A and B are shown apart, each in its own frame.
Chain A
Amino acid sequence: MDITFEKVGYIYQKGTPFQNRALHEMDLAIKDGHYTALVGHTGSGKSTVLQHLNALMKPTEGTVTIGDRVITGTTENKGLKEIRKKVGIVFQFPEAQLFEETVEKDICFGPMNFGVTEEDAQAIAKKMMPLVGLDESFLSRSPFELSGGQMRRVAIAGVLAMEPEVLVLDEPTAGLDPKGRREMMQMFYQLHQEQGMTIVLVTHNMDDVAEYADEMIILEGGTVVKQGKPEALFLDVEWLKKLQLDVPTSVAFAELFTKRTGKSFAKMPLNEQQLVTELVALLEEGEGH
């Protein structure tokens, strides 16, 4: 399912003295089946864009097209539920949304709101547990007696249980330990690879962007400044630094390496593996001389 923004503008508290513009003239395209990373420093409008993706917010100017639904400022609230089923959002610190007595009930909550029967929802809940790395014994426990990391997994399972076509992730690994981080990012990548799920990742972690995303959108001052393949966008390190954005560790290493040795890589390495390949290639070249 494609999501496109056309000249979208959004103003918070319009018509009051606290009025504040978050988006202006934003054109953006999230293509079906892609893994898109949305980056930009604090205040660039990421969260506002995020809430437009499933019509939690409606643009004050321009149009947002989600699948075949066109959302404008005057769109009525009726019938937006089906959009929310198709576009699942995992908000930052999603563990704050848990409320039922048992993990199972909480995971079933989303699907049942969208009309799935209780038995079917329970079957889905069971299926979701191994996916998020928990075993079935957790189903009967209270979400409030779990650890922070486990709560996070349950919350994510609750969104995945709605079986969305597009999964939007707002810093899903913030505050997790390195192992949990890697497992979770791998899990999302698997969903993308195996089920062809469209994923939108909002993050500050450029290593994740380089590792997983095949499309990258850079926001600044409430508008899109660049959209393209990560390998292309990460080439201009200076420009990214000017926007207060990081570069992946391997790119930073490659830059330093070139500066110190004067040798440049044939291709900008985006992750550890590519970096190793490039280094080996350089070494072999060196021996050849």
Chain B
Amino acid sequence: MDKLILGRYIPGDSIVHQLDPRVKLLGSIYFIFLLFFANNWQSYLFLAVFILVAIKLSKISLGFFLRGLKPLLWLIIFTVSLQLLFSRGGEIYFSFGPIAISQFGLINAALIFCRFVFIIFMSTLLTLTTIPLELTDAIEFILSPFKYVKLPVHEIALMISIALRFVPTLMDETTKIMNAQRARGVEFGEGNLFQQMKSIIPLLIPLFVSSFNRAEELATAMEARGYRGGEGRTKYRVLNWEVTDTMAVIVFAFVTVGVILLRG
């Protein structure tokens, strides 16, 4: 669990860190749309330059992002090789039975590889530079129009922020219980599949039980402090739109124009 980079936050004070979380969240989603819109190597190169500049601006080393690719490496290799080996069209360089390496296959494989890498880079950039709580605020803001179609926006945002808050606590607790059970002779991740599954029980049951207890305590504590649901609440953390945010939106507009001009 220590090696997990995706979904972590690194404190910093770069321009990217200070951007409004709404810009960052919507921007990342929009970037993925652009990525599917782009269809030739010129437009991909353009997007590559954009994301590299964004990473540079965040002052986080590129090596970090590369390490974030690691857990998904096999998935990427699998998809890319499927594209490479099984698509036909254009000039065919090599063929053996159903397997063929063709011009289209090569191009498609390269594009899909770029897509994967860019999506992972962008989402890693988002989570590395945004505090989870800010992200929740952004989600609440973006969902707020759906209030009018009876979507419980406040409740969803509350659940997300509580969930995010308790991820590290639960991770700590998991490690603690794991250690306690290892000290009692449980060996996690050893033996055959059945034994491995059985060894999870002494970990899962205490975790569930403590989550129930924690939920009850938290609910009581919230009620005792006067929480009565979303209506009529004010906000402590207020999102502020600044000049850099407007600039970021303008940059996205330029990128969109660029992609439209470059795509074939």
Asked if A84 and B210 sit within 8 Å, CB to CB, the answer is: no
- Chain A contacts of B210 at CB under 8 A? 96
Docked CA distance A144–B206 (Å) = 10
Q: Whole-angstrom distance from the CB of B84 to the nearest CB of chain A?
A: 33
Q: Whole-angstrom distance from the CB of A73 to the nearest CB of chain B?
A: 16
Contact A56/B186 with A17-B10, A98-B206, A109-B202 known, Cβ cut-off 8 Å: no
Asked if A162 and B176 sit within 8 Å, CB to CB, the answer is: no
- The contact string, 1 if C-beta is below 8 Å from chain B, for chain A 84-124, is 11001101001011110000000001100110000000000
Asked if A162 and B206 sit within 8 Å, CB to CB, the answer is: no
- Chain A contacts of B184 at CB under 8 A? 84, 97, 109-110, 113, 158-159, 162
Complex: chain A residue closest to B182, CB-CB: A56
Residue in B2, B180, B187, B205 whose beta carbon sits within 8 Å of that of A91 in the complex: B180
- Chain B contacts of A18 at CB under 8 A? 2
List B residues 116-164 near A (Cβ within 8 Å). none
Residue in B2, B179, B182, B187 whose beta carbon sits within 8 Å of that of A16 in the complex: B2
- The contact string, 1 if C-beta is below 8 Å from chain B, for chain A 64-90, is 000000000000010001001100110
- Chain B contacts of A110 at CB under 8 A? 184-185
Complex: chain A residue closest to B185, CB-CB: A113
- Chain A contacts of B180 at CB under 8 A? 89, 91, 94, 96-97
Q: Is the interface of B mostly helix, strand, loop or mixed?
A: helix
Asked if A96 and B185 sit within 8 Å, CB to CB, the answer is: no
Complex: chain A residue closest to B203, CB-CB: A99
Asked if B179 and A85 sit within 8 Å, CB to CB, the answer is: no
Complex: chain A residue closest to B180, CB-CB: A97
User: Taking the complex as formed, is A147 at the interface, i.e. its CB lies under 8 A from any CB of chain B?
Assistant: no
Number of contact residues on B: which range applies? 20 to 34
User: Taking the complex as formed, is A51 at the interface, i.e. its CB lies under 8 A from any CB of chain B?
Assistant: yes
Docked CA distance A21–B8 (Å) = 20
Residue in B181, B187, B205 whose beta carbon sits within 8 Å of that of A81 in the complex: B187
Docked CA distance A94–B184 (Å) = 12
- Chain A contacts of B238 at CB under 8 A? none
User: Taking the complex as formed, is B100 at the interface, i.e. its CB lies under 8 A from any CB of chain A?
Assistant: no
Q: Whole-angstrom distance from the CB of A21 to the nearest CB of chain B?
A: 15
User: Taking the complex as formed, is B201 at the interface, i.e. its CB lies under 8 A from any CB of chain A?
Assistant: yes
User: Taking the complex as formed, is A198 at the interface, i.e. its CB lies under 8 A from any CB of chain B?
Assistant: no
Complex: chain B residue closest to A51, CB-CB: B179
Asked if A56 and B206 sit within 8 Å, CB to CB, the answer is: no
Asked if B179 and A84 sit within 8 Å, CB to CB, the answer is: no
Asked if B2 and A97 sit within 8 Å, CB to CB, the answer is: no
Docked CA distance A98–B210 (Å) = 11
Residue in A17, A54, A98 whose beta carbon sits within 8 Å of that of B183 in the complex: A54
Identify the B interface with A (CB < 8 A).
2-3, 10, 64, 173, 176-177, 179-187, 190, 201-202, 205-206, 209-210
**7 shortest interchain CB distances as A-B pairs:** A113-B185, A99-B205, A97-B180, A110-B184, A89-B183, A13-B2, A91-B180
- What are 20 pairs between A and B in contact, CB < 8 Å? A13-B2, A18-B2, A56-B179, A77-B187, A77-B190, A84-B185, A89-B180, A91-B176, A91-B180, A94-B180, A96-B173, A96-B180, A99-B201, A99-B202, A99-B209, A109-B184, A109-B202, A113-B186, A144-B209, A159-B184
